[in-house]
Amino acid sequence: MYQHGVKNTLKGGAIVFGASAIFLLAAPEVFLELLGLEDSPELIWAMRMIGITLIALAGNMWQNAKLTNASGIRFIGRVMFVSALALGALTVFIPAELTPFSVVYAAIGLSFALLYLINLIRK
Give me the pLDDT at residue 16, please: 97
pLDDT tens-digit profile of 43-84? Answer: 999 999 999 999 999 999 999 999 999 999 999 999 999 999
| Cα 8 to Cα 41: distance, rounded to the nearest angstrom | 37
> In the chain, what are the domain boundaries?
2-121
pLDDT average, residue stretch 81-100: 96
Its pTM surpasses 0.85: yes
Give me the pLDDT at residue 1, please: 57
Percent of the chain past pLDDT 90, that is, above it, reads 96
pLDDT tens-digit profile of 45-56? Answer: 999 999 999 999
DSSP assignments along 21-90, one per residue? HHHHHH-HHHHHHHHTPPP-HHHHHHHHHHHHHHHHHHHHHHHHTT---HHHHHHHHHHHHHHHHHHHHH
Residue 110 has pLDDT above 70, yes or no: yes
Q: Would you state the torsion angle of the CA atoms of residues 48, 49, 53, 56, taken in this order, to the nearest 10 degrees?
A: 70
Give me the pLDDT at residue 28, please: 98
pLDDT average, residue stretch 27-45: 97
Give me the pLDDT at residue 123, please: 65
Give me the pLDDT at residue 65, please: 96
Give me the pLDDT at residue 57, please: 97
